[in-house]
């Protein structure tokens, strides 16, 4: 029972789901968490089609007043938007945006001309390497993925847990909340810029 309660607190999953995951994992806590996370992610994929037009605007001003963030975070119902878990998620994301300075929410938000310009730069850099064309293309893809990781909020490693990307952090919180959660937009202000 203690393990059930611990997994419930850690994952936010239902008791029947936890019991099934523990049975499948042979009562191995870590394996059960992995099973629950996989199931939670598949549930979130189903939920991602649902409209999220409730939520809140979160503001964050960094100490000293030199950096500020406005974030619109949406969910499906105003009931969830008023919970402490949702408000804390918004605060965590605003703090991350202040620290990591993303330019876009997702890779889909990056304009095509920016992507083409980056590819052109990477191609020039790789041209002098003397590597075959197929290898050069792989190098360009890798550098573009790194660019997205640096500039797109959802692809960035979460500043408080760098082994986890923001999109995974949000998916975990959304699974616990039981609703689709969407970062609609944000603006980061830096004094003098």
Phi-psi label, residue 56: left if phi above 0, alpha if psi -120 to 50, beta otherwise: beta
> Could you tell me if 160 and 98 are in contact, meaning their C-beta atoms sit under 8 angstroms apart?
no
The model's confidence at residue 40, banded by pLDDT at 50, 70 and 90, is low
**What is the pLDDT at residue 131?**
78
For 185, other C-beta atoms within 10 Å of its C-beta total 13
The domain ranges of the chain are 2-47, 54-105+152-190, 111-150
Q: Give CA–CA dist 46/76, Å, rounded.
A: 13
**What is the pLDDT at residue 128?**
73
Pairing of strands 157-158, 54-61: unpaired
CATH architecture designation of domain 54-105+152-190 = 2-Layer Sandwich (3.30)
Q: Which CATH number fits domain 111-150: 1.10.3470, 3.20.20, 1.10.286, 1.10.10?
A: 1.10.286
Which tens digit of pLDDT belongs to each residue from 73-126? 999 888 999 999 999 999 999 999 999 999 999 999 999 999 999 998 888 887
Phi, psi of 70 (to 5 degrees): -115, 130
Q: Is the pLDDT of residue 25 over 90?
A: no
**What is the pLDDT at residue 190?**
92
Instruction: Fold for 2-47, please state it.
Output: Helicase, Ruva Protein; domain 3 (1.10.8)
Q: What is the 3-state secondary structure (H, E, C) of the chain?
A: CHHHHHHHHHHCCCHHHHHHHHHHCCCCHHHHHHHHHHHHHHHHHHHCCCCCCEEEEEEEECCCCCEEEEEEEEECCHHHHCCHHHHHHHHHHHHHHHHHCCCECCHHHCCHHHHHHHHHHHHHHHHCCCCCHHHHHHHHHHHHHHHHHHHEHHHCEECCEEEEEHHHHHHHHHHHHCCCEEEEEEEEEECCC
Q: Give CA–CA dist 77/95, Å, rounded.
A: 24
The model's confidence at residue 134, banded by pLDDT at 50, 70 and 90, is confident
**b/e per residue 151-162 (b: at least 16 CB within 10 A):** bbbbbbbbeeee
Q: Is the pLDDT of residue 178 over 60?
A: yes
Token representation of residue 80: 């969830």
**What is the pLDDT at residue 41?**
47
**Fold match between domain 2-47 and domain 54-105+152-190:** no
Q: Is the pLDDT of residue 188 over 60?
A: yes
């Amino acid at each position: 029972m203690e393990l059930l309660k611990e997994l419930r607190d850690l994952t936010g999953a239902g008791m029947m789901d936890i019991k099934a995951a523990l049975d499948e994992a042979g009562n191995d806590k870590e394996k059960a968490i992995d099973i629950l996370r996989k199931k939670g992610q598949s549930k979130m994929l189903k939920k991602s089609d649902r409209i999220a037009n409730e939520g809140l605007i979160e503001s964050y001003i960094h100490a000293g007043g030199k950096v500020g963030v406005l974030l619109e975070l949406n969910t499906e119902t105003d009931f969830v938007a008023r919970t402490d878990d949702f408000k804390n998620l918004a605060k965590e994301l605003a703090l991350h945006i202040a620290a990591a300075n993303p330019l876009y929410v997702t890779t889909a938000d990056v304009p095509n001309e920016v992507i083409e310009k980056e590819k052109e730069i990477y191609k020039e850099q790789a041209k002098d390497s003397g590597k075959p064309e197929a290898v050069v293309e792989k190098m360009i893809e890798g550098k573009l993925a790194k660019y997205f990781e640096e500039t797109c909020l959802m692809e960035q490693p979460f500043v408080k847990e760098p082994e986890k990307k923001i999109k995974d952090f949000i998916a975990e919180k959304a699974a616990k909340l039981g609703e689709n959660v969407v970062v609609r937009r944000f603006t980061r202000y830096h004094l003098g810029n």
